[in-house]
Amino acid sequence: SFQVTSRTDSRTILDAIGAERLLGEGDMLFLPPGTARVQRLHGAFVSDADVHRVVDFIKRQEEPRYEMELLEGGDDEDGEGEEGEDLTDEMYDMAVRLVTEHRQASISWLQRRLRVGYNRAARMIERMEREGVVSSPGAKGREVIARRMEE
């Protein structure tokens, strides 16, 4: 945290007081992940002009080498089509099976069960809604409409 105006702001940001007593000009408090002790640091100011000079220097060192496969586009690794539709039906089928079997459907639940990220789980839930497997979100979440899939 950089300098703040009150103890309340300091406690909100760092869960500790002290940021209200910082001097400014790069003076900061840092809470490393996994620790409970705040460290006082001083950050150096680097102007935009300095950053541009360093970037220009690095660019002059060597000609760029491009990975042509990346530049050509190719298929997305996760099988997404033009509209973000998940084309790998195996994972989607597993998601539908889980939702209809356990009679619950939420993005976070699918994330935990399938060990996928938020965006992928959200796309699966949206597809299930379009296909009539689950209802649109209501006050008590989504209702599972479809019956259990038979193997």
Q: What domains sit in the chain, N to C, each tagged with a CATH number?
A: 7-42 (no CATH), 66-151 (1.10.10.10)
- The better pLDDT of the pair 48, 69 is held by 48
Checking if the pLDDT of 73 tops 90, the result is no
Query: 61 by DSSP, 3-state: which?
Result: helix
Alpha carbons 107 and 122: distance in angstroms, whole number: 5
Which DSSP state fits 42?
E
Mean pLDDT check: name the lowest of 15-29, 30-44, 82-96, 121-135. Answer: 82-96
What per-residue confidence (pLDDT) applies to 88? 64
Distance, CA of 91 to CA of 20 (rounded, Å): 50
pLDDT at residue 57 above 80?
A: yes
Confidence grade of residue 15 (pLDDT, cut at 50, 70, 90): confident
Q: Please check the confidence at residue 103 and state whether its pLDDT lies above 90.
A: no
* pLDDT for 8 beyond 50: yes
- pLDDT of 102 over the 70 cut: yes
Q: State residue 126's pLDDT score.
A: 92
Weakest-pLDDT range from 7-11, 57-61, 108-112: 7-11
The span from the CA of 143 to the CA of 70, in Å, is 41
> If pLDDT is split at 50, 70 and 90, which confidence band does 35 have?
confident
- Residue 27: strand pairing partners: 42
> Which residue reads 């690095």 in tokens?
58
